[in-house]
């Protein structure tokens, strides 16, 4: 993202099947940050928990309900940025 925007190096975009799952993803990221003595600068969640945003400095994490991810289309909106795929083994 650094070549496209000046506020972060990476966007992490992921989705869950329901609001409880996306909340659990956000909580797990927060737990991992605390375990590594880090924290996020900002956390925003819509009341309906359809989209949670975590600002972790150089990384901005977007956690969506699947249909909201398709609706907002961040991958298309920021298509000039280099895509980095990651899959956990």
pLDDT band at 84 (very low <50, low <70, confident <90, very high): confident
Residue 85 belongs to some domain of the structure? no
Task: Please tell me the chain's helix, strand, coil percentages from 3-state DSSP, rounded to the nearest 5.
Answer: 30, 25, 45
Q: Which residue has the tokens 């309900």?
A: 65
- The answer to whether 14 touches 64, Cβ cutoff 8 Å, is yes
- Predicted TM-score (pTM) of the model is 0.79
For position 68, which CATH number holds?
3.30.460.10
Written as six digits, the tokens of 58 are 């150089």
Is residue 84 domain-resident?
no
Q: Give domain status of residue 65, yes or no.
A: yes
For the chain, the domain total comes to 1
Number of alpha carbons in the 13 Å side-chain half-sphere of residue 50: 9
The verdict on residue 44 lying in a domain is: yes
In tens, the pLDDT along 5-56 reads: 777 788 889 999 998 999 899 989 988 888 886 776 767 766 668 899 998 8
Range of the domain at 73: 10-77
**DSSP code, position 69:** H
Residue 67 resides in a domain:
yes
pLDDT of residue 45: 62
DSSP string, 4-46: T-SS-SEEEEEEESSHHHHHHHHHHHHHHHHHTT---SEEEE-
Reference 60, options 19, 16, 26; nearest CA is 26
pLDDT digits (tens, 9 = 90+) for 3-13: 777 777 888 89
């Amino acid at each position: 993202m650094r070549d496209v925007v000046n506020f972060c190096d990476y966007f992490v975009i992921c989705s869950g099947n329901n609001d409880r799952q996306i909340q659990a993803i956000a909580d797990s990221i927060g737990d991992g940050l605390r375990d590594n003595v880090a924290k996020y600068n900002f956390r925003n969640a819509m009341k309906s928990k359809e989209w949670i945003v975590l600002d972790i400095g150089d990384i901005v994490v977007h956690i969506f309900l699947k249909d909201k991810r398709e609706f907002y289309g961040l991958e298309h909106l920021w298509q000039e940025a280099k895509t980095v795929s990651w899959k956990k083994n």
